[in-house]
């Protein structure tokens, strides 16, 4: 009964480094998404996917890349980390369809120095 699993929980990067935030769900959800949460700004959608092989951009996609090769996994790649990407990142999944509640992982806290 794992739900949505995010790894790592914490990460510190230097400016310019790249890394991949992992997200996996075991609920057979077609819809998966990445949000970033910053103080005073709520959650902002980075990228989302409605199924394997299908991804699209959200509100703040610049500097991030995603792919969806399986239903279960939706990794988020930071191509060249910048201090502005210091944030808490959440992965969420749901059934496809308006009104389906999102299931969230516990987040990855990323600091870019």
The nearer residue to other proteins, 4 or 112, going by C-beta atoms, is 4
Q: Which of 81, 85, 90, 110 binds other proteins (CB under 8 A)?
A: 90
Minimum Å gap between C-beta 85 and other proteins is 19
74: left (phi over 0), alpha (psi -120 to 50) or beta: beta
Using rule CB under 8 A, residue 97 touches other proteins: yes
Pairing of the two strands 64-66 and 54-57: unpaired
Using rule CB under 8 A, residue 4 touches other proteins: yes
Touching other proteins, residues 5-64 (CB under 8 A) = 31, 33, 35, 40-45, 48, 50, 56
Indicate the burial class of 35 (C-beta count within 10 angstroms; 0-12, 13-18, 19 or more). Answer: buried
42: left (phi over 0), alpha (psi -120 to 50) or beta: left
In the complex, the residues that contact other proteins under the rule CB under 8 A are: 4, 31, 33, 35, 40-45, 48, 50, 56, 90, 92, 94, 96-107
């Amino acid at each position: 009964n794992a739900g949505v699993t995010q790894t790592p929980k914490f990460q510190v990067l230097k400016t310019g480094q790249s890394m991949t935030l992992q997200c996996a769900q075991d609920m057979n959800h077609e819809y998966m998404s990445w949000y970033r949460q910053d103080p005073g700004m709520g959650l902002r959608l980075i990228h989302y996917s409605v199924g394997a092989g299908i991804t699209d951009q959200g509100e703040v996609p610049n500097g991030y890349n995603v792919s969806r090769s399986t239903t279960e996994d939706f990794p988020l790649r930071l191509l060249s980390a910048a201090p502005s990407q210091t944030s808490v990142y959440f992965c969420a999944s749901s059934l496809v369809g308006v009104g389906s509640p999102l299931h969230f992982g516990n987040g990855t806290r990323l600091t870019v120095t």
